[in-house]
Amino acid sequence: MLGKMAAPVLEHGEDAFRKLFRFYKRRNPPPDFSQVIDFSKRVDDERVFATELDHSSLGEVAACSAGLRPVKEWRAFGLQAHPGFIFISNPFLPGSQRYWIKQCLKAYPQKPNVCNLDMHMSSTETENIWEKSVESIRKKGKREPRTLLEKLRWVTLGYHYNWDTKTYSADHYSPFPPDLHTLSQTVAAACGFPGFQAEAGILNYYRSDSSLGIHVDESELDHTLPLLSFSFGQTAVFLLGGTKRQDPPTAMFMRSGDLMVMSGSSRLLYHAVPCILPAPACQPLPSCLDQRLEKQPVSEDLIQDVSEEDWAVCSRYLQTSRVNMTVRQVLGPGQTLPTTQPLVGAVSESRSGYHDESEEAAQNVKKRKNESGSEVDC
């Protein structure tokens, strides 16, 4: 393809992951995405196999109440190279993604949950992030300063992850949102993990120039339990590697509504998000977000309708953003967390070599590096 970089040939060797990460992160010339698996299309790829989930594990009523299609309609896939990894191509009912998106933007950033802005702002300044941002987002011209919502990078739920020590602790906890707990338990049950307890959540907010560095999620105490990931908004490239940095990763698109389950031997694999794809000019939002709920929710339903007013803000925000929720069970049976050890040194805003930003956001990166002293890991 003229003007595009071909995917690098990967030998087993040093830093195969880093090489591919940089390849997809690059903007000029744009990378060739032809090796990226696209689960939204008919998949005819020897790296991929279709997988049947156990339909009996989740009733249609429970699925529907959580805004999900019946399990028998889910398009679920596995990857030959990564046993235990499950990719489910947007199992949400029309309109129901809007609810989770609104929760990520309006509800979950609120106290007592913790977000990146708390690291250098007072609690009154970071109160009501949504209310402080909506007016400006609604009327936004290009040159307005960024709103708090647009400065949001991460929110932690339940046991709040400590980016510096890479640990959870018993005394840094707030109640996990019950709606997201139910969604997580529902999805986990359909994937063969009944009784999953959502105990910690990390929400990541990506602008079009953001990326997430190469890492393994190993801070949870029980690694036999799955890690769930929900994607909304703009499409990202996800890289899933092996247990070593030298193992060549598999690239796939994560589109709005897609779910990923890292379970079994895929639970501790290296992974990263090297780039967010720019929205096509003709379609600023993925078409699955155009729809409203087909049936009016009843009050017992988990999913509730999102007002046109709130959706106007969410949809404007998502034209240049992606939101991802990862949900983890931290403790296995009988396990407990220690309480926090007194911390020496400052608390960092960045994900300590984990959250990553592009050169275009250099100013921001510089500021973050100055504040946190951390380097990006890629």
CA pair distance 109, 130, nearest whole angstrom:
8
User: Least distance from C-beta 256 to ligand OGA, angstroms?
Assistant: 12
Q: Which is nearer to Mn ion, 129 or 240 (CB)?
A: 240
The yes or no reply on residue 185 touching ligand OGA (CB under 6 A) is: no
The yes or no reply on residue 229 touching ligand OGA (CB under 6 A) is: yes
Q: Which is nearer to ligand OGA, 64 or 262 (CB)?
A: 262
Beta pairing, strands 259-262 & 227-233? antiparallel
The yes or no reply on residue 217 touching Mn ion (CB under 5 A) is: yes
CA pair distance 372, 329, nearest whole angstrom:
28
352 interacts with, out of Mn ion, ligand OGA, none, CB within 5 to 8 A per kind: none
User: Least distance from C-beta 215 to ligand OGA, angstroms?
Assistant: 7
User: Least distance from C-beta 218 to ligand OGA, angstroms?
Assistant: 11
Quick count: other Cβ atoms within 10 Å of Cβ 179?
Answer: 18
User: What are the structure tokens assigned to 197, written together?
Assistant: 């307890």
Q: Is 227 exposed, middle or buried (0-12, 13-18, 19+ CB in 10 A)?
A: buried
Is residue 53 a contact partner of residue 194, using CB atoms and an 8 Å limit? no
Residue 333, preceding bond cis, omega within 30 degrees? no
Would you list the DSSP string of 102-169?
A: HIIIIITTSTTSEEGGGGTS-TTTTTTHHHHHHHHHHT--TTSPPPHHHH--EEEEEBPPBTTTTB--
Strand ranges across the sheet with 236-240: 250-254, 236-240, 271-276, 210-215, 355-357
User: Least distance from C-beta 305 to ligand OGA, angstroms?
Assistant: 27
The yes or no reply on residue 202 touching ligand OGA (CB under 6 A) is: yes
Residues that bind Mn ion (rule: CB under 5 A) add up to a total of 1
User: What are the structure tokens assigned to 77, written together?
Assistant: 């896939």
The yes or no reply on residue 258 touching Mn ion (CB under 5 A) is: no
Which residue has the closest beta carbon to Mn ion?
217
String marking each residue 270-309 x if it binds ligand OGA according to CB under 6 A: -x-x------------------------------------
The yes or no reply on residue 326 touching ligand OGA (CB under 6 A) is: yes
The yes or no reply on residue 207 touching ligand OGA (CB under 6 A) is: no
204 interacts with, out of Mn ion, ligand OGA, none, CB within 5 to 8 A per kind: ligand OGA
Q: Which is nearer to ligand OGA, 98 or 267 (CB)?
A: 267
String marking each residue 92-131 x if it binds ligand OGA according to CB under 6 A: ----------------------------------------
* Residue listed under structure tokens 């036999």: 224
Residue 248, preceding bond cis, omega within 30 degrees? no
Q: Which is nearer to ligand OGA, 65 or 160 (CB)?
A: 160
Which residue has the closest beta carbon to ligand OGA?
324
Residue 159: closest CA among 212, 219, 103, 217? 219
Q: Which residues bind Mn ion (CB under 5 A)?
A: 217
Q: Which residues bind ligand OGA (CB under 6 A)?
A: 202, 204, 212, 217, 229, 271, 273, 324, 326
